[in-house]
Amino acid sequence: MFDSNFIPLMRVVQSVRYNKKKNSCVLMEGWLVHFTSKDSMRKKHYWQLDSKCITLFHNETGGKFYKEIPLSDILHIEAFDSKPNGLAKDGETPHCFELLTDTLVYYVGERRSTPQRGHNRADSGDTWYRMIRKALMPGMDDSSTPKKSSQSSIPGAFLEPQQNLDISHMYQIFPDEVLGSGQFGIVYGGKHRKTGRDVAIKIIDKLRFPSRQESQLRNEVAILQNLRSHGVVDLEAMCETPERIYVVMEKLHGDMLEMILSSDKGRLPERITRFIVTQILMALRHLHAKNIVHCDLKPENVLLATEDAFPQVKLCDFGFARIIGEKSFRRSVVGTPAYLAPEVLRNSGYNRSLDMWSVGVIIYVSLSGTFPFNEDEDINDQIRNAAFMFPKNPWNEISNDAITLISSLLQVQIRRRFSVDKALSQPWMQDFQTWLDLRELETRVGQRYITHESDDARWQRFAEECGIEYPQHFVMGPQYDETEEEDEE
């Protein structure tokens, strides 16, 4: 059992996560006539539309179906009477709309000049056309049109939404698959229509915020556009309408908090923690070299790129990020209180060392499964009381080197707090097994971007002195230095 004075690790309210529904609800169902570009014979099936696909059943009650059409396979939907040549051949009943996929065109519905008894407009397909069109892009108004470009809030960066991009033509959003929520928007699962690639799509509702905050809404996009790093989530596309901003990113596999909470003891071993923290620090090294401070580091914002026991991780959610020079300070409100440095909570000036305090909290919660501070007592008093900060259970099982690093990061005085490079050089971080784990990761990724070849000889000598076989299968280079690449540009 943990000390009752400590708050168990949990997902903070600023990043509420939703569970995916087991079954998508039916949006519409009914009988429809259809034929295709490969088979002109008209068939009648019981169509059922949900948030992910259209299923063509043989009858209303049975489970057997004729075909499934994933919404992500539909490249375009068009009303037949809106086509330039919207006329049927002599003697044929015009269809109502067309579904275009990569391999087939579905011609759906019947538009009769004289409605048959018992038939209404839904039977003819007009209502189906509207419902499918709406399902293809949840949350986007029909009147929304892409905005050409907009100035970013980041100095020197220019936000460029893809001109004339209709995001519904390129991506399918799954409204039942809510991956998480950030400061301004909700993140949904999605799929690229042509490639079938899974993506994450953040939808930001601009109407929820005053116009003066609009530049801040674009903060995350502008920063991601100017970052190319293996340690930062990839930005794939962006589209803006008068009401919303759509940000398309790579879809990853959960986050670090899930990894901690789902572990056997509700906390991570030192080996895995050190492996992940090294990646976080290397990503921060890249950010800080570009004067970008994340300002909201926490396990929820450390995403797992793979489902391996030792996964590649990437930082996400740059909505609070700031441009702060090496010797500069800021005062604006940022971040999540449980992970924030005391200077922010006191509304004092803060700088890039804010991120390093957050790293200290991340290490602490990863190794212990609890938050380091009790809300009812002063942080200074708690830090000075080592017995309170590091109670025997579970810290007797954790190395002194780990405790030393945490203590050096959770420094109230900014000038005494470790920098990224100082933290990376500490004994707890300089571990041969972690170096091997990181080299294995780089070999899987096919790029050396965490370790440096200048350390190879040192670790080879260490292996020889300890009688350990040194692996020969690691990817050897060339060395990829993200900071140097940015400097050259």
* Residue list for the binding site: 202
Residue 271 CA to residue 356 CA, distance in Å, equals 20
123, 255, 296, 355: the active-site residue: 296
Asked if 141 is an active-site residue, the reply is: no
- For residues 102-131, one letter each, b for 16 or more C-beta atoms within 10 angstroms of the residue's C-beta and e for the rest, the string is eeebbbbbbbeeeeeeeeeebbbbbbbbbe
Check: CB of residue 323 under 8 Å from CB of residue 155.
yes
Residue 229 CA to residue 249 CA, distance in Å, equals 14
Which residues contact residue 394 at a Cβ distance below 8 angstroms, ignoring those fewer than 6 apart?
2, 265, 267, 367, 368, 369
How many other C-beta atoms can be found within 10 angstroms of the C-beta atom of residue 198? 15
Helix (H, G, I), strand (E, B) or coil at 58: coil
Strands 158-159 and 185-192: unpaired
Strands (E), 53-170: 53-57, 65-70, 76-79, 97-100, 105-108, 150-151, 158-159
Give the residue from 465, 204, 176, 217 showing the smallest Cα distance to 319.
217
Tokens for 387?
């017995």
Give the residue from 339, 329, 337, 296 showing the smallest Cα distance to 414.
329
Under DSSP, the state recorded for 244 is E
Check: CB of residue 247 under 8 Å from CB of residue 219.
no
Tokens for 135?
């399902």
CA 125 and chain centroid, separation: 37
Which residues contact residue 309 at a Cβ distance below 8 angstroms, ignoring those fewer than 6 apart?
272
- Sign for the pseudo-dihedral over CA of 251, 255, 261, 265: positive
Annotated binding site for ATP: 202
Which residues contact residue 6 at a Cβ distance below 8 angstroms, ignoring those fewer than 6 apart?
368, 370, 371, 372, 374, 391
CA 132 and chain centroid, separation: 27
Check: CB of residue 357 under 8 Å from CB of residue 350.
no
The helix (H) or strand (E) run that includes residue 462 is: helix 456-466
Place of tokens 């929520």: 181
Tokens for 165?
């991009």
Strands (E), 182-250: 185-192, 198-205, 235-240, 244-250
Apex 153 CA angle, 250 and 241, nearest 5: 60
Place of tokens 């901003």: 245
Give the catalytic positions in this structure. 296
